[in-house]
Amino acid sequence: MMKTVSSAKAHGGLQGVYAHASETCACEMTFAVFVPPQAKEGPVPVLWYLSGLTCTHANVMDKGEYRRLAAELGLMIVCPDTSPRGEGIPDEKDNWQFGSGAGFYVDATEAPYAKNYRMYSYVTGELPALVAAHFPADMGRQGIFGHSMGGHGALTIALRNPDRFASCSAFAPIVQPSTAGWSRPALEKYLGPDEASWRGCDATLLIADGHRFPELLVDQGTADGFLDEGLRPWLLDEACRAAGMELTLRMQDGYDHSYNFISTFMDDHLKWHAQRMG
């Protein structure tokens, strides 16, 4: 059963926040949905936004500046949370790169995380079914994008489900989490020490293993403090070139990792997705 946490009219549409008891994550999960005014006339395309480390649905909802253009373009924007939460959910409260706010959009296989940290299945299975049942969503026209950890999620989910999504883009994604210092420890805790099991959670390795997506758009700020340690977009560029896959990688001079960067280029990404979703 889904409950409404809040709702407000915006740009002729409706921005809502909702909660439900998730069977996949075995806890209550919260998500946000912006329904554009065109939905009054019938189902509209669905664009999924996956947030980064430490975030919830609220970060992009409050700071992403997507509603004005989404309303003009007729796009529904769905913003899931980044992890399971609540009492009894395994966590490392002093580690912002793991646990609460850091689900990495994977299905954990290791105890004690396997029961709750199933964000891949939640984002690709349970939540889409809920959205389809309760909102005027055209599930035949879907796109996906995200930021940082969420950019990693968007890339890997699109590469693993190319028939579902018409478009994929990312802001400052973690392109190779299996080797990045701030994501590798999380993958080991969630998935175990066998690195072969990590390949499906790494965009560059998915591409090396033969997964394809028609084209990708990535924006990355040159003043991003995480550029060299965690993000390394050149590795995605190398993987796409080797595979003959189309990537538009835009290095944006002077921009950092914050929502000042994301909101600046949000319109470009919304237009990119709208053109490809039809």
Q: How far apart are the first and last CA of the chain?
A: 32
Catalytic, out of 148, 167, 178, 183: 148
Q: Enumerate residues 6+ apart whose C-beta is below 8 A from 243.
A: 207, 208, 212
Please say whether the beta carbons of 254 and 223 come within 8 A: yes
Choosing from 147, 152, 211, 257, which is the catalytic residue?
257
Asked if residue 76 lies in contact with residue 36, where contact means CB atoms within 8 angstroms, the answer is yes
Closest CA to 43 of 137, 153, 177, 142: 137
**Rounded distance, CA 214 to CA 227, Å?**
25
Owner of token pair 């035949």: 140
Residue pair 31/57 in contact (Cβ under 8 Å)? The answer is yes
* Residue 224 annotated in active site: yes
Active site (annotated) includes residue 269: no
Catalytic residue among 169, 224, 269, 273: 224
Give the Å distances, CA to CA, from 85 to 92, 112, 116. 12, 14, 9
Give the Cα separation of 130 and 209 in Å (integer). Answer: 32
Virtual torsion, Cα 35, 25, 203, 156, nearest 10 deg: -40
Is 237 noted as a catalytic residue in this protein?
A: no
- Inter-residue contact 75 to 44 (CB < 8 Å): yes
Which residues have C-beta within 8 Å of that of residue 46, sequence separation ≥ 6? 75, 76, 78, 131, 137, 138, 139, 141, 142, 143
Instruction: Indicate which residues carry an active-site annotation.
Output: 148, 224, 257
